[in-house]
Structure 1
């Protein structure tokens, strides 16, 4: 997965201009509409809207488009979608060729890159068209850079621990009090479940594969994964302590072995210990509750992260599920802003989208659709409401190169689990490799 193509030692500071200049005259002629849209012969403004996802999302989005066009007959929206694996290559290529979609879906790991390269419009320029006043304040500035708004959150998620209540009951272990449990209790609880079941059901899935768990751990200590300027915002000691928890879980049998963890991680959520009924806890986003409930056939409980009351502050945060952004090259940015406003603020659109792009970022709309949500999504909405008052703040957009951190995290997690490196060595490697990937070394 990559964002706009880059090359050479100084690739991080390059702009779109050299890339566009390299596109042939023929290609530029074929894509003369710059922002991907234009005006048809009948005088209707035509805009392209890009997104990723499975068939269900495509079908739902087309229904939203049909609804918008019925209310706005002067605008036609053309869908431009693909699965996740192909989305970023397609977007990078079209942006470099000066043919970016008028409205695009962005993800936090890539938002800064597209914004810094001048590919995104400042949404603040459309304040007469695009109403952002009801966006959840905990994510309202999540798409802001240097005082400008380059993306607006579609919806919100939170990273949690999901617990299989039946697994706890079968092991004879009580669910923790997630309003006060500590990291030490989490490790002990996981080991206790594994021991009670003879290892047939492990206490928890490895938490070392996703940097968002560490993000919470660091925030609890007044640190963060990235600073506003994109530099690393945590200490080596904090990261070492995080990795030490994984070693403790391996030592007490609370999580799967190294080889088992590799297989589980490769299989994705459908092969997680929760989905396969082989574990009592795992770390997932709230919007994954529905899929995991269906896969497991079990009642899964959402739990706050351990340590939320153990340190000076809480660490959990609301993450934008994704962002809506407008191309800086769009020939019809005001019309594009009208469509984004509809996506964010229309109750009718929200009744179709529901929680597919996270629970709606517009807090008023979120409340209006609660009764229409599926049972798991409704429980996620309740959970988010319950933890909202404990969340201190959000996070700035990750730096350019943050997309590479996913694989860095996995490699180091594997080496740590197999005993090839110590927690101290894992921390040193992570900080070095991430700093290099993000250009902050």
Structure 2
């Protein structure tokens, strides 16, 4: 078994926007006169991810003589502009690190390779079909993450308030618990809810979605109005930050600068893969808690979200080699050992147990939590349609309109719904 000497760096350790490796400048893949194959692989990330990915490339090339992988990488801020430019110019990389926000757009534009022939059975059921539409399979997930309520263990201990039974608590219970923590600690009971996953979880528990499989809005203004009203009630009960404070938190910045990272809120909604870094900044471990449910029946409608995908370019000259390299990145033991949880909790079944001894104590807690949820999570959310990338900003903005009492929940919900629909119409 291969064991990497590299450990995941903190999220803040990223390359500057100008630090972009441009080793592959040609269009698509290439084959030399001797039949050798060259594939270009483009990804985003921090320095540690770049080092680990290069290590994986070296292993793959050693195991596959005649195949050369040319690396290209950048940080998140410049990644999508460059990918769009390359794709428009007919120079898309052969293998692309992909995100759910952009997957449908690239798939519907015909720029992604269909991966239907690949074997996805070794991936966790909760994300196995997350890269598929009715027209094909456009991405294989590497890792997965789940929206979680993270509770600061040190602050909970100091408060004298016991942790709740998160298997059966309701939104009403959660609101009362946040108020109890605020009173006991003098800090906020919970930081502002993370969007759009907060609204998505709420809607799923009411049989709705933010968007449907067909790429349309999956809720009505009245559904969002109830969610906004809950936030008002949470504020009134005393567990939620005042709007002036939550406005500075939304949308959230780094874990280090968050209310939870600074120890100003006992709980917070976070993707579970972010909690390891959060615990370092807060100087405390965190207990992951299930999201509350509507009636306490245990149907939390939580869902695994692929932390990132791998896709192939439809213009590649070597589709079989692309599929093979994607499978290596997403499912191999070497990839699990080297990436650990940097690209999310590995989606390959059994991978978490393989790497368990390499994880920190906080990561092991989160790994156990993910394993426990595996039998509980609902179906994955539909792939967002083109035009939906701005939805989180809309939810934050209209939440503030409600919390500052500039609009009623119904007024804000109607305006937000109309704005979202306009985004989809314009993109379509």
1:94 alignment partner, one of 86, 90, 98: 86
2:36 alignment partner, one of 27, 37, 44: 44
Q: CA separation in 1, counterparts of 2:198 and 2:240? A: 15
Q: What SS is found at the alignment partner of 2:69?
A: strand
Q: What SS is found at the alignment partner of 1:206?
A: coil
More deviation in 88-97 or 364-373?
364-373
Q: What SS is found at the alignment partner of 2:189?
A: coil
1:68 alignment partner, one of 41, 60, 66: 60
8 Å CA contact 1:220, 1:311 repeated in 2: no
8 Å CA contact 2:145, 2:344 repeated in 1: yes
Q: TM-score, normalised by structure 1?
A: 0.87
Q: CA deviation at 1:404?
A: 1.4
Q: What SS is found at the alignment partner of 2:113?
A: coil
Q: TM-score, normalised by structure 2?
A: 0.89
Q: CA separation in 2, counterparts of 1:196 and 1:345? A: 46
Aligned twin of 2:221: 236
Aligned twin of 2:318: 332
Q: CA deviation at 1:316?
A: 0.3
Asked if 1:154 corresponds to 2:142, the answer is: yes
8 Å CA contact 1:308, 1:316 repeated in 2: no
For residues 216-248 of structure 1, give each alpha carbon's deviation from its aligned partner in whole angstroms, at most 9, with x where no partner exists. Answer: 111112222211101121233321111112112
Q: 1:387 to 1:32 in 2, by over 3 A?
A: closer
Asked if 1:133 corresponds to 2:121, the answer is: yes
More deviation in 242-251 or 365-374?
365-374
8 Å CA contact 1:33, 1:331 repeated in 2: no
Q: CA separation in 1, counterparts of 2:391 and 2:298? A: 27
Aligned twin of 2:206: 221
1:395 alignment partner, one of 375, 381, 402: 381
8 Å CA contact 1:44, 1:75 repeated in 2: yes
Q: CA separation in 2, counterparts of 1:306 and 1:147? A: 35
Aligned twin of 2:106: 114
8 Å CA contact 1:416, 1:423 repeated in 2: yes
Shift >6 Å, 4+ stretches: none
Q: CA deviation at 1:311?
A: 6.0
Asked if 1:179 corresponds to 2:151, the answer is: no
8 Å CA contact 1:136, 1:363 repeated in 2: yes
- The equivalences for 1:23-422 within 5 A come to 33-35=26-28, 37-40=29-32, 43-124=35-116, 127=117, 130-198=118-186, 201-207=187-193, 209-265=194-250, 267-307=253-293, 310=296, 313-422=299-408
Q: What SS is found at the alignment partner of 1:356?
A: coil
Q: CA separation in 2, counterparts of 1:321 and 1:275? A: 21
8 Å CA contact 2:142, 2:331 repeated in 1: no
Q: CA separation in 2, counterparts of 1:158 and 1:62? A: 28
8 Å CA contact 1:222, 1:312 repeated in 2: no
Q: CA deviation at 1:416?
A: 2.1
Q: CA separation in 2, counterparts of 1:32 and 1:51? A: 15
Q: CA separation in 2, counterparts of 1:436 and 1:238? A: 18
For residues 344-381 of structure 1, give each alpha carbon's deviation from its aligned partner in whole angstroms, at most 9, with x where no partner exists. Answer: 22112210011111111111333322232222222211
Aligned-residue CA RMSD (Å): 2.0
Q: CA separation in 1, counterparts of 2:227 and 2:399? A: 11
Q: 1:348 to 1:197 in 2, by over 3 A?
A: closer
Q: 1:377 to 1:197 in 2, by over 3 A?
A: closer
Q: CA deviation at 1:63?
A: 0.8
Q: CA deviation at 1:168?
A: 2.1
For residues 142-169 of structure 1, give each alpha carbon's deviation from its aligned partner in whole angstroms, at most 9, with x where no partner exists. Answer: 1111141001111111001000122123
Q: CA separation in 2, counterparts of 1:401 and 1:189? A: 37
1:428 alignment partner, one of 406, 414, 425: 414
Give unmatched runs, 5+ long, in structure 1.
Answer: 1-30
Aligned twin of 2:8: none
Q: CA separation in 1, counterparts of 2:62 and 2:197? A: 41
Give unmatched runs, 5+ long, in structure 2.
Answer: 1-23
Q: CA deviation at 1:39?
A: 2.3
Q: CA separation in 1, counterparts of 2:248 and 2:378? A: 36
